Structure 1
Amino acid sequence: MHRAVSKAAMFVVAGALLYGCGGGNDNAPAVQPEETRPQDARTFTIDAAAVAQKFTPLAGAPAADRWSGVLGKAGYMVEVPAAWNGKLVMYAHGYAGTGTALDVNPPSIRRHLLEAGYAWAASSYSTNYYDVRAGVEDTNALAQAFTEIAKVNGRALAAPTRVYIIGHSMGGHVSAAAVEAETLQTANHKVAYHGAVPMCGVVGDTELFNYFGGYQTAAQQLAGVPATSWPVSNWAQIVSTVQAALFTIYPATNTGQGEKLRQIVKNLTGGERPMFAIGFSGSPASKSVQDAVWSTFGEDGTVNGVLTQNVVDTTGLTFQMDDDAALNAEEQVFNTTIFRVKPVPDANRLRRDGLRWIPKTAAQVSVPVLTLHTLGDIYVPFSMEQIYKRRADANGTARWLVQRAIRGISHCDFTVAEQVRAFDDMVAWEQAGTRPDGDDVLTPSVVANSNYGCRFTDNTFGVDDTASTKALRQGAMTAAPCTP
């Protein structure tokens, strides 16, 4: 059954668990306040009644208790099957825009979790915008409050024997950051997760914003209106000129300069690989994804006020217009003359009051992490996985990382079957110690193979797959089928 938590119960949960009760040190030195950000002055609201109303039973799923309410300033959903297996899965949602209204939704593998006996919980987070710090803290606070929420709703539960975290897109960043050593040290709400499945995640953290900056400055350079400062204050006035120089039909048909841009973006997003061409301009979904990327252009590098100073850094990017790693004469001139965006060095420094404003994903992990990423995604590109793998290799933690390439053409267009397999394989790895198979994401010849990604792509559709995912996959299968 579903019960919305009463106001009294919300007070108990929020006061006793979110902020702690008893055992404090009255003589502890006060934490010095940090500078404020635009994000700190924003007000967000959660309609708890609307969340409760939409949190209905899943047709055909096992019987379960469902509870929703507000914890601190975040809404939540919690679902515990009648035959609970003692394990809890935290779900981290993706970017929800810049509006003031918060929302919370269940994970796409909800049915599987219930059938397998898992409880799950999801937070709205207390803010919108790209606030991964809030995502980690509010998700962790909800995990800590799980048994108390059950208790005030009349069901006494033991503490979970295992707590896992999964997430999509920005939620992939949340779930990867949640298992980082730095997070365990600096978070205000500390949860030692037993494993994670970041999907289509920003596992390169601020490198995503470097890519956006590189794409914009390359587009301007090729269009003949090069950037000369950052931010580009006249972007709104020149964007139509830039697009007209690069596309005869945006983004479906390139000009000669636009083809150079396509090659540059391919190499910035992971190199030659199946599905990239379809994702860039070869499908009905391409425009919406390109629009999402281009909507980031012209910004000041503060990630819409989540930071106070510019974090974008294009000084380490190499712009290549072909598949040869050696730079030809044209590429040498391009890389020498293009405007390089330089960050403020401490824009995303460690804070005195908890996590970094944009938490790091340094791959300093000690629990199983299994990632999924679509090959055609140019919004949160496949290069995120390559960055994450290089970090794991550098930190000696690659034994805890398995990555899988999926032949999707858009952002997060996974089938439920692919997500279920990833989750189950991560759990089996954590429980039994046998590391599952994954894909090599770094060897160019492997990634460029026409069948790359076929091994873990599963185009079997179930009752919970969305119409958009089905349409995208059917288009992908037709345009780029796997071959024996």
Structure 2
Amino acid sequence: MTTRTRTASVAALLLTLTTLPATALAATAEPAHVEGRLPSGATYLMDVPTDWNGTVLLFSHGYAAGPANPAQDAPDDATKALLLQQGYALIGSSYATTGWAVTDAVPDQLATLTTFTERFGAASRTIAWGRSYGGLVTTALAERAPQRIDGSLSLCGLVHGGVANWNNTLDPVFALKTLLAPDSDLPLVDLPDQRTATAAATVLTAAVDAAQTTARGRARIALAAALHNIPVWNQPTQVRPAATDWDAQQANQYTAVRGLLNAGFNRRQEAEARAGGNMTWNTGVDYARLLARSSVRKEVTELYKEAGLSLRTDLAALNRAPRIGADPDAVAWMSRTSSFTGKLTKPQFSVHTIGDALVPVQTESALRRAVTAAGSSALLRQAYTDNAGHCTFSAAEQLAALHTLEDRLTTGRWPATDAGALNSRAVAADSTTPARYTAYRPAPYPRPYDLAHPADGR
């Protein structure tokens, strides 16, 4: 559609884009690769194959801590290559800022779509899709700008929304401090800067590392992991432990708990700065009830028995510990910008790995709950892949999800979304990468919060 456009200068690129007539784009035989900058300062990418099939995929990338902030228009190179071969146009922006940037991401993604339409003409179909934090952005687009898209696809997304995410991130950190560092004065919320956040994370990481050397400490780490629903197999490099190998299960969780502290402190501080204060609370939370709803509670009870430690006593200690209250204005900001009503007007397909420690698969239960309460359940389908890690989808699995959503858009009815049907689609799309869809039902999300039931969890 146009000659390949590559330039190190944004000014030169914009000049090229504004001087090359649309008729020239249609006459050329090369695929288009366009890079540009939006008025917000966000950059964007567009890749349009010569034989564009009329569908544009608006990709929302995951959380970027900065300072690097590249634009992305596909989740990975292998999937991107297959999509371009099949004729899809791929677009996506960097978002104007890094971090919890939903207030920039949504308008920047819509502006990228507008720029694409002005450049290449209207698409016959527009699908919003994204991974991880980009799944939250995608779901926000689906709720707030449904007139701009035909459907949405969330992959390993934060589809529980911002308030639920930060509440559930607070719980394991609160448990670790209470049980492993009870005499420390490290702050869990209202973090004034990244230096304070890093220092607090360092103190608690040291406490976790020390605890891992004893049976009592390992049991308590497992309890904290259970409050976040950290799975016992959560990285592709890990050996999948046997169903009753409690020690191996806890060892796998230990690594994930250490990694969670970055989100619990450094990423929290950045989000608090945007929200204007602490947007989370555990007032009124009964940690015994929270554990009872956890997908890994059996492991916790067994490790406590092995350690000769009273689980009831530790849960009572958590319930007696001084609680954390939220700043109402910060909660309101997070609710307004980053939580969901569940009201869908266009089809959404949401897919998750079952072994995700960072954004546990139970987030899908929170999405289902909100969508059902809003009366939109007919528009939502969910599926699960039997693999460990955050967003560790194969190219085949991602294309299978996309093609399933496309069938729904074409026919007006959902095709089969069982594991067998999805794996058949995956093999047909790319037989060189794994197809691991599985029948799965996630446990309830431990700390639900959505705009349909905003008081839940208080």
Normalised by the length of structure 1, the TM-score is: 0.68
- Paired position in structure 2 for 1:443: none
Distance 1:290 1:63, change over 3 A: farther
Q: CA deviation at 1:201?
A: 0.7
Deviations 1:65-123 (A, max 9, x none): 22112122111111222222222110111112131x32123313323322332212111
- Paired position in structure 2 for 1:431: 410
Select which of 21, 26, 38 maps to 1:71: 38
Distance 1:338 1:278, change over 3 A: farther
Distance 1:456 1:330, change over 3 A: farther
Asked whether the 8 Å contact 2:59–2:72 carries over to 1, the reply is no
Separation of aligned partners in 2, 1:284 and 1:457: 31
Distance 1:240 1:129, change over 3 A: closer
Distance 1:13 1:258, change over 3 A: farther
Select which of 177, 180, 194 maps to 2:140: 177
Q: Residue type of the partner of 2:126?
A: V
- Paired position in structure 2 for 1:2: 4
Give matches, 1:467-482, under 5 Å.
none
Separation of aligned partners in 2, 1:92 and 1:125: 9
Q: Secondary structure at the match of 1:179?
A: helix
Distance 1:241 1:118, change over 3 A: closer
2:200 aligned with 1:243: no
Q: CA deviation at 1:285?
A: 8.7
Q: CA deviation at 1:161?
A: 1.9
Q: Residue type of the partner of 2:397?
A: E
Asked whether the 8 Å contact 2:45–2:72 carries over to 1, the reply is yes
Asked whether the 8 Å contact 1:225–1:242 carries over to 2, the reply is no
Distance 1:288 1:244, change over 3 A: closer
Separation of aligned partners in 2, 1:332 and 1:284: 22
Asked whether the 8 Å contact 1:274–1:407 carries over to 2, the reply is no
2:385 aligned with 1:406: yes
2:103 aligned with 1:133: yes
Distance 1:279 1:77, change over 3 A: farther
Q: Residue type of the partner of 2:85?
A: E
Select which of 167, 176, 186 maps to 1:210: 167
Q: CA deviation at 1:214?
A: 0.7
- Paired position in structure 2 for 1:161: 124
Separation of aligned partners in 1, 2:387 and 2:316: 35
Q: Residue type of the partner of 1:360?
A: S
Asked whether the 8 Å contact 2:56–2:91 carries over to 1, the reply is yes
- Paired position in structure 2 for 1:200: 156
Q: Percent identity?
A: 21
Q: Residue type of the partner of 1:362?
A: T
Separation of aligned partners in 2, 1:275 and 1:392: 27
Separation of aligned partners in 2, 1:81 and 1:317: 55
Alignment coverage as a number of residue pairs: 384
Asked whether the 8 Å contact 2:174–2:188 carries over to 1, the reply is no
Q: Secondary structure at the match of 1:213?
A: helix
- Paired position in structure 1 for 2:221: 261
Deviations 1:177-232 (A, max 9, x none): 1111xx23xxxxx8521111111111112212112211101112221526776438
Deviations 1:302-330 (A, max 9, x none): 51622211112234464427349999844
Normalised by the length of structure 2, the TM-score is: 0.71
- Paired position in structure 2 for 1:118: 88
Separation of aligned partners in 1, 2:255 and 2:224: 20
Asked whether the 8 Å contact 2:208–2:221 carries over to 1, the reply is no
- Paired position in structure 1 for 2:113: 143
Give matches, 1:382-393, under 5 Å.
382-393=361-372
Asked whether the 8 Å contact 2:4–2:33 carries over to 1, the reply is yes
Q: Residue type of the partner of 1:166?
A: W
Asked whether the 8 Å contact 1:320–1:331 carries over to 2, the reply is no
Separation of aligned partners in 2, 1:138 and 1:12: 22
- Paired position in structure 2 for 1:420: 399
Asked whether the 8 Å contact 1:373–1:405 carries over to 2, the reply is yes
Asked whether the 8 Å contact 1:204–1:388 carries over to 2, the reply is yes
Unaligned ranges ≥5, structure 2: 19-28, 242-247, 302-309, 439-458
Q: CA deviation at 1:339?
A: 3.9
Separation of aligned partners in 2, 1:126 and 1:205: 21
Alignment root-mean-square deviation, CA: 4.0
Q: Residue type of the partner of 1:435?
A: W
Q: CA deviation at 1:283?
A: 11
Q: Residue type of the partner of 1:164?
A: I
Q: Secondary structure at the match of 2:351?
A: strand
Separation of aligned partners in 2, 1:344 and 1:77: 38
Asked whether the 8 Å contact 1:199–1:371 carries over to 2, the reply is yes
2:150 aligned with 1:222: no
Q: CA deviation at 1:369?
A: 0.7
Separation of aligned partners in 1, 2:416 and 2:233: 20
Q: Residue type of the partner of 1:112?
A: L
Q: CA deviation at 1:242?
A: 2.0
Distance 1:436 1:372, change over 3 A: same
Q: Residue type of the partner of 1:340?
A: R
Deviations 1:391-443 (A, max 9, x none): 1121111111111111221111011111000011011111211224457xxxx
Separation of aligned partners in 2, 1:192 and 1:7: 28
Separation of aligned partners in 2, 1:360 and 1:161: 30
Q: CA deviation at 1:347?
A: 0.9
Give matches, 1:459-470, under 5 Å.
none
Unaligned ranges ≥5, structure 1: 15-61, 151-156, 185-189, 249-253, 440-452, 478-484
